[in-house]
């Protein structure tokens, strides 16, 4: 199973400059479901679950940031938008996961791809106003990479 993880991550990292091999492997090696994966299709399911959990976690981080009473209006607005974006991304990932399980790979790909807009749009909002730095840069980058891994793994599944 470690071979399945390493082989799949190796192919994903070689095929997509957004995917780092070490990040990919470390995203799955600690996951018991990934350790029992017998093929890349099993890893797709784990990757989708991981991305869903990550979207939820980022939503919680955003909520915590919004609790800060000293946050200015612009930063608050950006974070509220990011919260909506991640909520939508979670729905897209869920739909993508269902489509994948139903072997509707085109829909699965479209849904996961649409979820990738969340981290980019969230990050860009902060950059639009001079002097603002996103407090979510690391989370946005990791989430984007997780979704890139899902898409890459889906491409590796024998159709």
Band (pLDDT 50/70/90 cuts) for residue 2 is low
| Per-residue pLDDT reduced to its tens digit, 51-97 | 999 999 999 999 999 999 999 999 999 999 999 999 999 999 999 99
DSSP 87-150: HHHHHHHHHHHHHHHTT-HHHHHHHHHHHTHHHHHHHHHHHHSTT---TTHHHHHHHHHHHHHH
| Per-residue pLDDT reduced to its tens digit, 96-114 | 999 999 999 999 999 999 9
| Tokens representing residue 151 in the block | 């898409």
List all residues 6 or more positions away from 46 whose beta carbon is below 8 Å from its beta carbon.
28, 31, 33, 34, 37
List all residues 6 or more positions away from 76 whose beta carbon is below 8 Å from its beta carbon.
66
Please tell me the predicted confidence (pLDDT) of residue 1.
Answer: 52
List all residues 6 or more positions away from 51 whose beta carbon is below 8 Å from its beta carbon.
93, 112, 115, 143, 146, 147, 150
- What are the domain boundaries of the chain? 1-156
115 CA to centre of own chain: 8
Pairwise CA distance, residues 86 & 140, whole Å: 10
Whether pTM exceeds 0.85? yes
- On whether the CB atoms of residues 46 and 93 are closer than 8 A, the answer is no
How large a percentage of the chain has pLDDT more than 90? Answer: 93
| Per-residue pLDDT reduced to its tens digit, 5-26 | 999 999 999 999 999 999 999 9
CATH 3.40.50.1820 is the classification of domain 1-156: no
């Amino acid at each position: 199973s470690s071979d399945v993880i390493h082989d799949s991550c190796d192919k994903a990292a070689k095929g997509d400059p957004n995917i780092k091999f070490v990040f990919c492997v470390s995203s799955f090696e600690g996951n018991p479901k990934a350790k029992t994966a017998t093929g890349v299709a099993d890893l797709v399911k784990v990757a989708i679950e991981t991305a869903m959990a990550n979207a939820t976690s980022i939503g919680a981080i955003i909520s915590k940031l919004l609790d800060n009473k000293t946050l200015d209006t612009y930063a608050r607005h950006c974070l509220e938008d990011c919260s909506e974006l991640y909520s939508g991304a979670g729905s897209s990932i869920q739909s993508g996961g269902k489509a994948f399980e139903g072997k509707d790979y085109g829909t699965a790909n479209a849904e996961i791809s649409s979820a990738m807009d969340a981290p980019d749009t969230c990050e860009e909002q902060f950059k639009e106003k001079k002097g603002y730095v996103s407090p979510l840069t690391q989370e946005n980058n990791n989430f984007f990479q997780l979704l890139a891994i899902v898409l890459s793994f889906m491409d590796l599944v024998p159709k």
